[in-house]
Amino acid sequence: MIIGYARISTQDENTEFQLDAIEKAGCEQIFQEKFTGKLRERPELSHCLHVLREGDVLVVWKLDRLARSLKDLFEIVQDLHERGIGFKSLTEEIDTTSSDGRLVLNIFGALVEFEHDLIRERTIAGLRAARKRGRKGGRKPAMSDADIREATAMLSGSDITKTEVAAHFDVTRTTLNSSLARLAQGIED
């Protein structure tokens, strides 16, 4: 079965040209929705991917209608391939039911890996540069050193519990415990 998926990002766009192209490709069933590609949940796409069975082919008008990023595209198409489902993008003329299309899929995979490696290298270089300038990475502690000293003083009296102290500072008991441990180890902001 050939199944189509069409998506528009704004209310001003129109799916008619997508639908015309997908219908012309011989789709027997078409899923369509109006959502921005940045939204993680796209119910019609989820339903479409769920309906597809081995031997089916998913057809889209253009790659950016299916995925939010190259990584997302590769993951979706790879999942389809593993399930024995073909994929066609009409505008880019990609067809994973052919050896040429599978080659393109493998190139996409290599590009995704390359992009991931570049991002990782840039992140590591940025963190090193920040450390050289004396900046620490990570989230700012929920409790300041003064808060931790005050919490320690509050806890030295036997009539108050850690749960009450945590509530006083509007943190969880786990955060209070890790902050107290940080002070005990001599680690300060």
Query: What are the residue numbers of the active site?
Result: 9
> How far is 54 from 85, CA to CA, in rounded Å?
5
| One-character DSSP codes across 135-163 | PPPSPPPSS-HHHHHHHHHHHHSTTS-HH
What are the phi and psi torsion angles at 31 (to 5°)?
-105, 135
The residues that bridge with 6 in the sheet, in sequence order, are: 32
DSSP H or E run through 36? none
Instruction: Output the six-digit token pair for 11.
Output: 């209310």
| One-character DSSP codes across 41-53 | --HHHHHHHHH--
